[in-house]
Structure 1
Amino acid sequence: MTEVNFSVGLDPESIQADISINCFLNSFLRESKAVTWQKSSANQEVAIVPLNNGQQLIYIPVSYHSALGIHEYQLPLKLVSQSEKSEEKLLNFNEFLQLIINDVDIVGDLTNEQKSIFIQRVVESRANTQAAIAARDNLQAIYSGELNFAQAEQGLIAGHSVHPAPKSREQFSEEDARLFAPEHQAKFALYWFAVSPSITITDSTGHYGISERIQQLLTADTQLSEAVFGKVPENYLLLPVHPWQAKLLLNTADIQQYQERGLLVNLGAIGENWYPTSSTRSLYSPGLPYMLKFSLSVKLTNSIRNLSLKEVIRGTRLQQVFDTEKLCSFGQQYASFKVMQEPAFIGLINSEGEVIAESLVALRDNLLMHTPQEEAVVLATLTQQHPLAADSLIADRVKTVASHKNISISQAAKYWFNQYCKYVVEPLFALQANYGIVLLAHQQNIVLKMERGEPVGMYYRDCQGTGYTELAYQLFPEQLIDDAQMPENFWNEDKVRRYFPYYLIINSTYNTIAAVSSRCAVSEVDLLHILHGCLKQLQSQGVQDSFCLDFVLQNATLRSKGNFFCYLQNYNENSIPDPAVIYFDLENPIAKIEQLASAKNTSTKKTVSEVM
């Protein structure tokens, strides 16, 4: 095989970093069976992609090689012919994209339409990321120092770190993105409809009904209360609507008929500004008692982001479960772990009495209402790579801890990650293993509460990603009695083993490990040892149901979502009959540590490094 020296023949200014390309390549290299790795003549790790039955090779050099698959890349790429002359050509990203999408051995047998859609979305996603970066007056501000919740949510400029098109949003125009996308630091007033109860579907659990919860928003938002005064017909409910979604709804036949009949009054865009959070469809307004999660009929990454009735009911169900006395001991043991509950929802029904999914909105408890300046940072923003190949925010916070505690950066990295395990990994696994409550904690569902740069607590959000095992049905029979209507809420062992470790371990924790290791003088193996120790300690405490914990500690592979090929095949993740088809086996390094620990091997660290 041709040996390539990437330090020769390149103008230093042409060596680039591009976080959108990094996200694409991470997903591609993780899933592609054709890729191999070798060392360059400069001892640099290089991924090699064969083309045309090996007649040509694409060389992808990395500036940081991650055993967990979260690499940092050194662009440009290089195309090398395997002919005697060993011809070489530097590749830009679009050329690379065309080469791999037309090689059947790499991507399979695709139609021209599939290829065209995929390329268009990937190119658009990259352009969206570049536009968001260019629009930032002070890009470095989201990579250094404390961020409050709103700043961190709107600081996620790249999106999913292992996805070919993490900032694709097909139905949004460029103007829509500037107005409504979090990475553009958008803020806007909501539309409000006054609606007859006869055309609504609502639920609210706990001490307040839906009208009381809406009134709480009115009381906290004086602009809104003054604007609607005298304009709401007696006994009508107020329905908040995302302004982009409002335009869609107002063009539907049902809504137009409701307006004509006086059952719905469009009050327009009024009240305080709301900030789109990292998910785009969930909005936050500092000082108000609720965040709002809307249906948004936009395809963001793998799916159209409309809520369903079953999903919003899950929010009220989870609140009911957490209100039980059985979870009191959990709350005492993990007092710094909080769930941003979704205790209520409201939406419209059509003339046939069916739910208009596009109108649904869930009310989410704003646990930061009284502390809007608290350092509460979504994990995805903490771990995202820097577009100029500088330190990530998580590296900055680790170095802050090192300075504050007067310890080395390596020591601070281990301490920081240990705190992460204590406040994130342990309580989430404890909920699953001791109570049968499954919370799918991917990077955008984990908000870390921090002080002076170190984790001191966690907020979990997004209650649609929840489920219950047999243990939960035994512990909470009254709260889950109606779940016969929603059989997908019951998670058997196979389902838990597939999804729970993917979200918490592969999606969230692997990204955390790689982000810390790449910049903080600590190996991924060292951090994996800390993770293994956290899980092992929980296991040793004698949990109620250890099947998933045992699986993560012992199984040779974990199931990983295949974002690259899911997106390539144009699947809608929320509507395919069996989402399991987009998952594949990924090697589990935690199990290797477990095997070596069981054997009491005194050279564990070195051995694990070698086998990874």
Structure 2
Amino acid sequence: MLLTRTTTFTADDVTATALLNCLVREVCAPEQQVWQDDAHLVVRLPRVGVVLRARLARPSAGPSYRLVPPYEERRDDEWLAAPWDRLSDLVAGELELATGEANPEFAAQVADSHAALTAILRARGDSPSGALPSPAVHRYVESEQSLIAGHRFHPSPKARQGAPEQWLPYAPEARARFRPHWLAVRQELVAEEGDTDAFSALEALGPAVPPGYRALPAHPWQLSLLADRPLLRRALSEGLVHDLGPCGPEAAPTSSVRTVYVPDADLFCKFSLDVRITNCVRKNSWYELAGAVVLDRLLRPVFTTLGARFDDCVLLAEPAYRTAALADRALYEGLGVILRRGIRDLPGTPLLAGALADPYGTLLPGLPAMATPDGALAWWRAYVQRVAPPVLHAYVEHGVVLEPHLQNVLIAVDDDGMPLRAVFRDLEGTKLVAGRALADELADLPPRVRQSLIYDPGRGWNRVVYCLFVNHLAETAAAVADLHPDLDAELWTTARAVLSALDIAHRPELRALLAGVPLPAKANLRARWARIADRGAGYVTAPNPLAPPAPLGP
């Protein structure tokens, strides 16, 4: 019989769980202030002198615990309920004492995330999913729009600027659909690079454009945010830009919110959004527009090689961008759109990896392959074989730092849900390792573009290991173990066997990984407290479940 997980949850539970997960990973565990007491995990906040406990859903062989409510605080000889806002205050107090700095924004960000999740849960219940061209596309879009709770290790996983009535019409979690808003821009004011013919399929579905103009799709929310820019108003009044309104087929926002999929054209549009979502303002900076086209060109031969070796894995191409070259950088970046190839030619049904790993989701338990422990273990082996080798070979052999976190990977599956192919996407986080051959090809680019595309080897390796193992495989393994708890340790034994069989397993990076060196875990809580950009986030260490078994005693 297929095991199932509890899918009933509240904004209170999700917010409290995320806060406690962050607290354990980034504060209490590194300071050895965590211990197990029967079915509970007990954590101590050493600076504020408070002891908390959470229920353990099950034992875990992975790098993190599976915490579930109730969450409680020790007062005198009693355990009393510790709701999410109390946890928020305690985390803030501990971090202020640990860093010597206050952050008056922190509690508001947590509260905003809680309010957004409350609105999402209400809206999702009222929003049936709309029909799409095929069952495979429908399941794919459903997977993109299923991440209701967000990142388990972020203190404000659903924080986003604006009131719910502003963003709910464009929220993937509310199953949004909308038509792009089209502009017609004078030919001489269009800035674009790459294979601009790639826009043809999208333009064919859009409005008629006057002679001497080019079509530019825009996100309606973003256009409303830019509406008061003086240069845009002048361009519209002088006829340099025409507002053609919403038109054409509907688009479905993906998990990133600002990137949308247009099924009728089988294309993605990565729009700018001058809105802070979780960590960052989601705009296409000018150097990211240029960099995407450069990376697309350089990585095509790399993925031809990787695809031939590893089950036809692919990187979704980003062949071109387009924007309006008005004399205002905010408009140049804010109207910029990066085109991404679609999913129609993939085998089977593509599903978002994050939806498979979601502890609140129903996608993984519904796969026929997960019905038995043997089937689940075979599924996991196939999953690791398709996701991990191309990422590691890309780094070791080509000096390419992919960013294979749960929202950047699709898994094409067959009718039983067995993985067929890994699909990597989003060049924004993809980098080249300094000093390697591909990075040398960036020498003639403008310095800011070149800088945005390069990591030093240490930073690049940390990013690969965090995204692949801590963010991705550990969360997926945990979701499998939720269904079949007896498999937990065996999942990591299997992953170790897959990695040990790689022909690069002798390389120092892989040897250290397989020897059990601690894993780098991104410090989202500390980054939010320090109010630094996502790219500046540091790491804390997490246990490495790939470590070999301890030797038996004499």
2:12/2:83 contact within 8 Å kept: no
| Residue number in structure 2 paired with 1:94 | 85
1:376 aligns with 2:346: no
Listed one character per residue, the Cα deviations across residues 510-557 of structure 1 (whole Å, up to 9, x for unaligned) are 111111112223443222222222222114577xxx354344334622
Counting only pairs closer than 5 Å after superposition, residues 447-596 of structure 1 correspond to structure 2 as 447-451=410-414, 452-469=416-433, 472-473=436-437, 482=445, 486-539=450-503, 546-554=507-515, 556-574=517-535, 579=536, 581-590=537-546, 592-593=547-548
Counting only pairs closer than 5 Å after superposition, residues 237-256 of structure 1 correspond to structure 2 as 237-256=214-233
Residue aligned with 1:57, SS: strand
CA distance in 2, matches of 1:165, 1:354: 27
Q: Which moved further from structure 2: 332-341 or 72-81?
A: 72-81
Shift of 1:117: 3.0
Residue aligned with 2:485, SS: coil
1:320/1:479 contact within 8 Å kept: no
CA distance in 1, matches of 2:92, 2:300: 51
TM-score of the superposed pair, with normalisation by structure 1: 0.80
Letter of the 1:586 partner, please give it: A
Listed one character per residue, the Cα deviations across residues 478-516 of structure 1 (whole Å, up to 9, x for unaligned) are 687547651342332212222111111111111111111
1:275 aligns with 2:252: yes
1:497/1:551 contact within 8 Å kept: no
Listed one character per residue, the Cα deviations across residues 422-481 of structure 1 (whole Å, up to 9, x for unaligned) are 11111111222222222111100011101111111111110111112257526x866875
Listed one character per residue, the Cα deviations across residues 562-595 of structure 1 (whole Å, up to 9, x for unaligned) are 1112122332325xxxx1x5322333332x32x8
Shift of 1:322: 3.7
CA distance in 1, matches of 2:222, 2:85: 33
| Residue number in structure 2 paired with 1:301 | 278
Identity, % of aligned positions: 21
401, 404, 419: which one aligns with 1:441: 404
| Residue number in structure 2 paired with 1:60 | 54
Shift of 1:395: 3.5
CA distance in 1, matches of 2:94, 2:304: 57
Q: Which moved further from structure 2: 548-557 or 103-112?
A: 103-112
1:286 aligns with 2:250: no
1:493/1:548 contact within 8 Å kept: no
Shift of 1:15: 12
390, 394, 401: which one aligns with 2:369: 401
2:113/2:156 contact within 8 Å kept: yes
Letter of the 1:589 partner, please give it: P
1:156/1:380 contact within 8 Å kept: yes
CA distance in 2, matches of 1:135, 1:18: 21
259, 265, 286: which one aligns with 2:242: 265
2:324/2:335 contact within 8 Å kept: yes
Shift of 1:135: 4.0
Letter of the 1:25 partner, please give it: L
CA distance in 2, matches of 1:87, 1:352: 60
2:12/2:114 contact within 8 Å kept: no
| Residue number in structure 2 paired with 1:25 | 20
CA distance in 1, matches of 2:184, 2:11: 52
1:215 aligns with 2:205: no
Shift of 1:244: 0.3
2:306/2:313 contact within 8 Å kept: no
Letter of the 1:415 partner, please give it: A
| Cα distance change of structure 1 residues 157 and 135 upon mapping to structure 2, 3 Å threshold | farther
Shift of 1:132: 5.0
Letter of the 1:321 partner, please give it: L
CA distance in 1, matches of 2:32, 2:329: 53
2:183/2:218 contact within 8 Å kept: yes
Counting only pairs closer than 5 Å after superposition, residues 31-50 of structure 1 correspond to structure 2 as 31-33=26-28, 36-40=33-37, 43-50=38-45
CA distance in 1, matches of 2:238, 2:137: 51
Q: Which moved further from structure 2: 23-32 or 295-304?
A: 23-32
Shift of 1:237: 1.0
1:120 aligns with 2:111: yes
1:70/1:162 contact within 8 Å kept: no
Residue aligned with 2:192, SS: strand
Shift of 1:108: 4.2
| Residue number in structure 2 paired with 1:431 | 394
CA distance in 2, matches of 1:126, 1:107: 29
- Compare relative contact order (CA 8 Å, sep 6+) and give the higher one, 1 or 2: 2
| Cα distance change of structure 1 residues 347 and 103 upon mapping to structure 2, 3 Å threshold | same
Listed one character per residue, the Cα deviations across residues 193-249 of structure 1 (whole Å, up to 9, x for unaligned) are 1001332321013xxxx2x33332133x2xx3xxx33xx232311110000011122
2:22/2:155 contact within 8 Å kept: yes
Residue aligned with 1:568, SS: helix
- In structure 1, the gaps of 5 or more residues are 1-12, 139-144, 404-408, 608-612
| Residue number in structure 1 paired with 2:170 | 180
131, 154, 166: which one aligns with 1:163: 154
1:292/1:364 contact within 8 Å kept: yes
Counting only pairs closer than 5 Å after superposition, residues 362-373 of structure 1 correspond to structure 2 as 362-368=338-344
Shift of 1:164: 1.2
| Residue number in structure 2 paired with 1:333 | 309
TM-score of the superposed pair, with normalisation by structure 2: 0.87
CA distance in 2, matches of 1:106, 1:61: 27
1:348 aligns with 2:324: yes
1:539/1:549 contact within 8 Å kept: no
Letter of the 1:166 partner, please give it: P
CA distance in 2, matches of 1:283, 1:259: 26
| Cα distance change of structure 1 residues 78 and 362 upon mapping to structure 2, 3 Å threshold | same
CA distance in 2, matches of 1:97, 1:23: 10
| Cα distance change of structure 1 residues 330 and 14 upon mapping to structure 2, 3 Å threshold | closer
- In structure 2, the gaps of 5 or more residues are 1-7, 130-135
Listed one character per residue, the Cα deviations across residues 262-315 of structure 1 (whole Å, up to 9, x for unaligned) are 111110111111010000000012131421001111111111111112222232
Residue aligned with 1:357, SS: helix
| Cα distance change of structure 1 residues 44 and 247 upon mapping to structure 2, 3 Å threshold | same
CA distance in 1, matches of 2:113, 2:46: 21
CA distance in 2, matches of 1:291, 1:126: 26
Letter of the 1:426 partner, please give it: P
1:401/1:412 contact within 8 Å kept: yes
RMSD: 3.2
